[in-house]
Structure 1
Amino acid sequence: MPRKPIDKPAQEPAEPVLRVALPAPQRKRPRQARSVALVAALKITGREILEREGRAALTVHRLAEHAGVAISSIYEYFPTMESLVAAIFDDYRSEARVEVIASIRALPDSACLMDGIELLLHTGLAALQRWLRLDSELSIKTVYQAELVRLDMVRGDGFWVSQVIPALVERFSTEVRVRDRELAGFLAYQAVTALPRALVIERPDFLQQEQTVRLLARMLHGLLTADSESVSES
């Protein structure tokens, strides 16, 4: 009699793997004044097209025409249009950092910590919403990449918020009443980076709601002002 085939154990389904295909980086950094001016012109022109006409309008031929440069000169620095948009987004983040720190320091003497927190959140959430509108696909890719960096799974540059939180604490130091400022600062930093990214990925519609700013602001304010003894006794 023929042998009955032995049933093989069912294989467990493979764990889902998240693969984030990031845009190719800029090929090289300009060093001479002429090349620095060229890259700056490409980013400025690309930004104008992106903001005025949308992502679909930003093609290499359109960029070359408006910037008045050869296509080969564009590819010398940016292998794809997505890599150019990524460089533009890097500029947006740098500008947001400078803007919010300057705005926090420029708040009037009558301002309080909550004013600074709300300013930070309004600026950050508005920026995320703007980037989603300009290039939603790249924005979401960038958010996933940033989360991997935050979790120390891949290497990357520091986040602009890491400089903003210390500026906020310095400006309103008399209101920050926690004993362990390092702990409070760490929790505030994680909250103000991870939660907005979760909004981008899962509920981008919440970015537009004023209630989102108020709820996040209360949480951050509580982290930075809760007295450690009263917390331990409650």
Structure 2
Amino acid sequence: MAGELPRPRKRPKQSRSAELVRAIREACIRILETEGPDRLTTQRIADVAGVNIASVYQYFPNKEAVLADVYEERLQQLADEATLEFTRIWKLSAQSFAGTLEAIIGMEADFLYQLYQISPDFYQRYHQALDVRERVNQRTQAESNPSWADWFALFLSQHEASVRAGDRDMQAFLARHTLESCLTAALRERPQALKDPAFREELLALLLRYLLAGQA
């Protein structure tokens, strides 16, 4: 299936095996950071990890599967960070409408760019399967918290006096997908824009013009 994330052959079950897989993962990251993606091969991963190549193939069929495992670990770390950041955003949402949107844009753009930087070609190919927002959504709903969609509609209702008249669920839907589409387009066409303050300011202005009453 197109876009399906490469998978490991198996998962480690003992602490010694887990250490081996971690060494392989860390070797992959080190090669990408210091030598570049063109130097990433299973043999090079084995050399940097200090293991026999057979040990790499015991857990991973190819370098793409190692990369996928690197991404899976990073997604879990970002989900942890997002949980903490959402606590701050939740408090901010009662104080500042624009400030909350700015914080959301900043967090999502930062996360996308961090994932992109690990291996640009790999992330461009598999980014739909590496959706940090979906991972966070799964976690928050498992803890009986509102989904991202439900929370955003509640956020608009919380600022009833400022947001223009209309169907809150529809407005939330359009605003969320406008944000997602703009970030995805930036990732595809101009990834450096994700860390550009001017891009983030324009995206914020776009959402504010749509959502706030009295905006041209």
TM-score with structure 1 setting the length: 0.65
Task: State the SS of the aligned residue for 1:31.
Answer: coil
* Paired residue type of 1:63: I
Partner of residue 25, structure 2: 43
Structure 1 window deviating more from structure 2 (76-85 vs 41-50): it is 41-50
Question: Superposed, which structure 2 residues align to 1:52-201 within 5 Å?
Answer: 52-106=34-88, 112-143=96-127, 146=128, 159-160=134-135, 162=137, 165=148, 169=152, 175-177=158-160, 180-201=167-188
Seq. identity, %: 24
Q: Closer, same or farther in 2 for the Cα pair 1:103/1:45, shift >3 Å? A: same
Asked if structure 1 preserves the Cα contact closer than 8 Å seen for 2:156 and 2:172, the reply is: no
Q: CA deviation at 1:125?
A: 2.1
Structure 1 window deviating more from structure 2 (39-48 vs 110-119): it is 110-119
Distance 1:37 1:60 in 2: 18
Task: State the SS of the aligned residue for 1:106.
Answer: helix
Show structure 1 runs of 5+ residues with no match. Answer: 1-18, 150-155
Distance 2:154 2:58 in 1: 44
Q: CA deviation at 1:22?
A: 5.4
Distance 1:32 1:170 in 2: 45
Task: State the SS of the aligned residue for 1:36.
Answer: helix
Task: State the SS of the aligned residue for 1:206.
Answer: helix
Q: Closer, same or farther in 2 for the Cα pair 1:210/1:47, shift >3 Å? A: same
Asked if structure 2 preserves the Cα contact closer than 8 Å seen for 1:55 and 1:134, the reply is: no
| Residue-pair matches, total | 201
Deviation per residue, 1:109-164 (Å, 9 max, x gap): 69624333323322332343344444222122123xx2xx7xxxxxx997246468
Asked if structure 2 preserves the Cα contact closer than 8 Å seen for 1:60 and 1:71, the reply is: yes
* Paired residue type of 2:46: A
Q: Closer, same or farther in 2 for the Cα pair 1:111/1:33, shift >3 Å? A: farther
Asked if structure 2 preserves the Cα contact closer than 8 Å seen for 1:22 and 1:141, the reply is: no
Q: Closer, same or farther in 2 for the Cα pair 1:158/1:134, shift >3 Å? A: closer
Bigger fraction of residues in helix: 2
Deviation per residue, 1:26-56 (Å, 9 max, x gap): 2223333333333233223322332233222
Q: Does 1:218 align with 2:205?
A: yes
Distance 2:183 2:136 in 1: 12
Q: Closer, same or farther in 2 for the Cα pair 1:60/1:217, shift >3 Å? A: same
Show structure 2 runs of 5+ residues with no match. Answer: 141-146
TM-score with structure 2 setting the length: 0.69
